[in-house]
Chain A
């Protein structure tokens, strides 16, 4: 969508960040082997994608509020929820592609090209990751608008989410008491499925959980969006117009 324009930040998130992350991993750990390489590549891919787009998408409504366009948004003839989803999706597709290309190229340059044994399922996994990212983006969008600390919360939450998803350190390192939280982070299942698909043994329970979480996010997003509508129109606390 035209509202999301090519931006220097976009290159930062889509090219620079994944490249640097990969270099760090390779220098620190040396040449990985088959599954390890797939793990690293998907972790970096997902982290870069989430950091640059899901979290950006989550800021959409807050930004609308900041610049005062929320009123147009809420009284459009088209469903605001639909427009929001469109925006979040539009914001994520191009960076997702860019990040994927970057990671693939880097893996080749680092002489560790990942061979994907089930390319069809791998693509399904990528699409599912983008869709669930979009659903989460819209959910966070509404949640961040509801709290005054949306901005702070958004930056404070990003890395814990990566940790819980097991992208930075394997989840086994966490105390069992909080490990279960990772179940609710769709990133975790996205990575699990992508890695399994690359190894030729697609893990369908991971895909199912990814899909299920996407639905949960979407339902929660609709609910919290209703709440925003309520706040705006009934309490009059959201600055509209």
Chain B
């Protein structure tokens, strides 16, 4: 057995003096296997950034421990810094008066990238994040998204084995966000372990193998993505619209199908929403029975997003 990429044991972190102590993390324990993408979710102030910073050696734990490939983030900070890169979302953290290329070179140097290697990596990475054309411009002239992409290139340049991403898609347009997701996936396929914090559930849905949910400093969920989605209780919502009289629904709907809304009638049109617990050929058969005789004009199927699951978990519905 190789050591997990990230191991956290009974980790706590508090801020401030005893009288008004703020607990940001409370007895968090987890382990992340190499080559997986783990999403760290939770409402504002849950402790996500605090955990990321501790793993990035920017903050000491108050108690408990954290290790990267077996190296303690406090005692072996330097080794840990070589192993992991951290990317914080936002527009700060760059030298505004230097060009994008010089920023990347300088931060690469800080992260221990050798000059020769940097020569090769810098243009490659600038190309990869789509900044090749503006690389010679000062960063102060960059848009939000360009700065964000530069941050990402900086995170990638030391070829880390662990990537700590704190809201990396903030400020990116949808196509750029998708490009980043591809880059993260590619890194994972190369064996890089990723801890991803994001409020964009799309990032999480597309990328994560596993979901961790923090709430007020405590780890309240830790499960595979598919499992987490199942927590919502259903996999899809089917919205049906039709003309004329709405279908007469049986009192007891068939197993695996629930009525979420409706039928509502407006101007000779009706609409209803059904929830499907799990797809199967029976579901289609049941649906055609339910809708028999009605004039259907539109069917819209929506897979349940993490939003639903997330909302339910944080509302304490489970």
Contacts and interface: CB of A to CB of B under 8 A. Distances in A.
Interface in B90-135: 90, 92-98, 102, 105-107, 109-112
Interface stretch (A66-74, A110-118, A135-143, A180-188): A66-74
Contact of B94 (A5, A67, A83): A67
B77 to A, nearest CB: 8
Given A233-B60, A236-B15, A240-B53, A72 B110 contact: yes
Interface string A35-79: 000000000000000000000000000000001110111111110
A157 interface: no
B195 to A, nearest CB: 14
A167 to B, nearest CB: 32
B88 A75 contact: no
Contacts of B60: 233-234
Nearest to B49: A241
Interface residues of B, number: 32
B109 to A, nearest CB: 8
B86 A241 contact: yes
B82 interface: yes
Nearest to B166: A241
B110 A3 contact: no
A166 to B, nearest CB: 37
B110 A78 contact: yes
Given A75-B56, A76-B112, A233-B59, A241 B93 contact: yes
A5, A234, A240 interface centre (most CB from chain B within 10 Å): A240
Interface string A1-30: 011010000000000000000000000000
A220 interface: no
Interface in A209-241: 232-236, 240-241
Contacts of B102: 2
A88 B242 CA distance: 74
B168 to A, nearest CB: 13
B82 A241 contact: no
Given A2-B102, A233-B60, A240-B58, A76 B110 contact: yes
Interface residues of A, number: 22
Given A83-B110, A240-B53, A71 B59 contact: no
Given A241-B86, A241-B88, A77 B93 contact: no
A78 B107 CA distance: 11
Nearest to B62: A234
A241 B167 CA distance: 12
B78 interface: yes
A75 B93 contact: no
Interface in B112-164: 112, 154, 158
A234 B53 CA distance: 12
Contact of B81 (A5, A76, A240): A76
Contacts of B166: 241
A75 B90 CA distance: 18
Contact of B93 (A2, A67, A233, A234): A67
Contacts of A69: 92-95
Contacts of B169: none
Nearest to B90: A68
A74 B93 contact: no
Contact of A67 (B49, B57, B81, B92): B92
A234 B81 CA distance: 17
Nearest to B50: A236
A77 B82 contact: yes
Given A71-B88, A241-B56, 13 more contacts: A3-B98, A5-B97, A67-B95, A68-B94, A72-B111, A75-B58, A76-B110, A77-B81, A77-B111, A235-B15, A240-B53, A241-B88, A241-B93
Interface of A: 2-3, 5, 67-69, 71-78, 83, 232-236, 240-241
12 contacts: A67-B92, A67-B93, A68-B93, A69-B95, A77-B110, A77-B111, A77-B158, A83-B110, A240-B53, A241-B58, A241-B88, A241-B166
